[in-house]
Amino acid sequence: GFTRSFSSSNSLNAVKTVTVIGGGLMGSGIAQVSAQAGQNVTLVDLNAETLQKALKSIENNLKRVAKKVHKDDVAKIDSFVKDSIARIKTSIKVEDGVNSDLIIEAIVEQLDVKQQLFNKLDELAPQYTILTSNTSSIPINAIGSGIKRKDRLGGLHFFNPVPVMRLIEVIKTDDMSEETHQTLMEWGKSVGKTCITCKDRPGFVVNRLLGPYSAEALRMYERGDATMEDIDIGMKLGAGYPMGPFELCDYTGLDTNKHVMRVLYEMTKEEVFRPVPLLDKMVAEGKLGVNINCLSGDASAKDIDVAM
Ligand code: 3HC
């Protein structure tokens, strides 16, 4: 499980320093799993308050992990948490994070903002630095369209909650070198995740399949075929999902789901991704989900939106 501790890989290209840009839900989770695996992490966010909240949430989640590994050994729990936290530096300046082997961007899901950031990183970071995005729906090629190091551009797509979900989708752009691909796969393994490789296609693997699933659940409910509760129970007990589609939508955020679906619809024009009126209505009413409870209670819906 996610509680195992992993030693870093010994390959020549092994990543030892990571910069995570964006201190929201996803960014803080990525910083946490990196630090607990022994990486030196720089967490960058333009907002100092977001960084403080991120550190608090990382500390709380590290305690949960530590308690599972070290049971009642208070001294070991304390040192695991302290040592991991000590590996995380924070900064409000991107410039402070450019000298890393790997940079993972987890900022707002807006193409132009991401492009600007990647152009800046390409300019400032050393040649060896690999630039990646945690985007859930924007093509990596578009994000990196203005950069020169196309062989060192890729996606590292994590899942919420990052400390628990064991997958990383490694997005392999057409220009990514084999060496970069290998380095990313090894890095993912070294932070305790299983990596799958996916081309730079709309929704990659997981969201491409989860999108139609949750849209169909919403349409089923809209038609009055079954209650939300029964649909959730159905998928949990009949298909073995840990959460039903409505619980999951609540957890990942209704606004995030709407956003992912809209982007997938624009890119694929497939009917199955057509916006669902019920979801639009609920988001317009500010009903964004209960995901906040599932963290440590200290990320706002806005931070979650930013992170995703
Ligand atoms: N940090 C550390 N540990 C955590 C944690 C966190 N943030 N959240 C939960 N945990 C731990 C708990 O301590 C618990 O450990 P234990 O079983 O050893 O005691 C374990 O995880 C399970 O947590 P809970 O008992 O509180 O609750 P559940 O058993 O209901 O599990 C869940 C919670 C892991 C969230 C589970 O319901 C689940 O897997 N849900 C589906 C999540 C999912 O599908 N995520 C992907 C969304 S899509 C996405 O992210 C892509 C993006 O692009 C949109």
Residues 153-197 pLDDT 10s: 999 999 999 999 999 999 999 999 999 999 999 999 999 999 999
Segment 27-45 mean pLDDT: 98
pLDDT value at 7 more than 80? no
Question: Can you tell me the mean pLDDT for 21-40?
Answer: 97
At 104, which helix (H) or strand (E)?
strand 102-105
Provide mean pLDDT across the span 39-43: 98
Q: What is the mean pLDDT of residues 15-43?
A: 97
Of 4-13, 133-142, 165-174, 179-188, the range with the lowest mean pLDDT is 4-13
pLDDT for the residue 290: 79
Cα–ligand 1 centroid distance for 123 (angstroms) = 38
Contact 128, 102 (CB under 8 A): no
* pLDDT > 90: percent of the chain: 85
Report helix, strand or coil for 276. Answer: coil
Greater pLDDT, 72 or 38: 38
Q: Is 291 in the pocket of ligand 1 (CB under 6 A)?
A: no
**207 is an active site residue:** yes
- 257 CB-side CA count, 13 A: 33
pLDDT of residue 291: 55
**How remote is the CA of residue 290 from the centroid of ligand 1, in Å?**
14
What does pTM read for this prediction? Answer: 0.90
What average pLDDT does range 224-237 have in this prediction? 98
Q: Please spell the DSSP secondary structure of 155-187, one letter per residue.
A: EEE--SSTTT--EEEEEE-TT--HHHHHHHHHH
pLDDT of 33 above 50:
yes
**Residue whose CB lies within 8 A of the most ligand 1 atoms, among 28, 30, 60, 64, for a mutation test:** 64
Catalytic pick among 133, 169, 190, 257: 169
Chain centroid to CA 8: 21
Q: Is the CB of residue 308 below 6 angstroms from any atom belonging to ligand 1?
A: yes
157 carries an active-site annotation: yes
- From residue 126, alpha-carbon distances to 91, 130, 159, 188, 306 in Å are 19, 9, 29, 21, 27
What percent of the chain lies above the pLDDT cut of 70? Answer: 90
Better-predicted residue by pLDDT, 12 or 305 = 12
CA distance 22 to 156: 14
Nearest C-alpha neighbor of 26 from the set 82, 104, 117, 101: 104
Kindly give the number of the ligand 1 atom that is closest to the alpha carbon of 26. 50
Q: How far is the CA of 162 from the centre of ligand 1 (A)?
A: 8
Which one is catalytic: 57, 137, 190, 207?
A: 207
